[in-house]
Amino acid sequence: MSELEQEFARKTAVERIPRNAMDRFIDGIELLAAAFVGIVAADIFISVLLRYFFSVSIPDAYDFGKLLLGILIFWGIAATSYRGTHITVDLIWATAGPRGKRFIDVFATLVLLFVVSVQTATLFDKVMLTRRDNVQTFDLRIPTWPFALVAWLGDVSAVLLIAVRTWRLIFRPESFEAPAVKALE
C-alpha cells in the first residue's frame, strides 16, 4: 500500500469515529465562527458595492463592520484554540520526543487557558461598561453592548474549548490526530 493510500485509510478511519456531544458542540462553535467570517465579508462587499457603483452607503456600515470584526476575532480565537491550527513556529517541539511534545502541549495549553480566562473576565467588564454608558452607533443610535456581549460569548467559548483541549491532552491524548511535523533535517 502506498504512502498516499495509507494516509487516506487513516483519515477515513478517523472520520468513522462516532461523534459525541462535545465534538458536536465544538463543531457548532467552529460553524458560528465561519458564519461570522461570511457576515463580515458580506458587509464589506455590499458596502463597497453600494458606495462605488450607486453612491449610497449603508447607515452605520463602518460601526457594524467594526463591531462584527470584533465578534469575528473572539469567535475565531475559540475556533483555533481547540484545534491548535493557529500559526506556530516551535523548533523545540518539532525535535522533541512524544513525551516532550505532550508536556509542551499541556503546558502551553494551560498558559493559554490562563491568559484567555483573564481576557474573558476583562472583556466582561468592558461589556458591562458599554451597557452602562449606553454607547450607540453613530447613525441609527443602536446600542453596541449586544455586539460586545456576542464577542464576549465567543471568548467564553474559547475558555470552554481550551479547558476541553487541556482535559483531552492530559487524559485522552489519542483524541488528537498526530500532526505530520518532521524534525529538522
Mean pLDDT check: name the lowest of 31-35, 118-122, 140-144. 31-35
Residues 6+ apart with CB under 8 A from 63: 137, 138, 139, 144
Q: What is the pLDDT of residues 79-110, one digit of tens each?
A: 888 776 655 667 888 888 888 888 888 898 99
pLDDT at residue 177 in the model: 56
pLDDT at residue 160 in the model: 92
Q: What is the pLDDT of residues 57-78, one digit of tens each?
A: 889 888 998 999 899 899 888 8
Mean local confidence (pLDDT), 127-139: 95
Q: What is the pLDDT of residues 135-156, one digit of tens each?
A: 999 999 999 999 999 999 999 9
pLDDT at residue 77 in the model: 86
Question: Cα–Cα distance between 80 and 86 in angstroms, integer?
Answer: 6
First to last CA, the chain: 26
In whole angstroms, how far apart are CA 62 and each of 44, 46, 140? 9, 12, 12
Q: What is the pLDDT of residues 149-179, one digit of tens each?
A: 999 999 999 999 899 889 988 898 877 655 4
pLDDT at residue 116 in the model: 95
Query: Tell me, what amino acid is at 41?
Result: A
Q: Is the pLDDT of residue 184 over 50?
A: no
Of 86 and 6, more confident: 6
Q: Is the pLDDT of residue 181 over 50?
A: no
pTM score: 0.76
pLDDT at residue 185 in the model: 47
Q: Is the pLDDT of residue 4 over 70?
A: no
Q: In the chain, how long is the greatest CA-to-CA distance?
A: 66
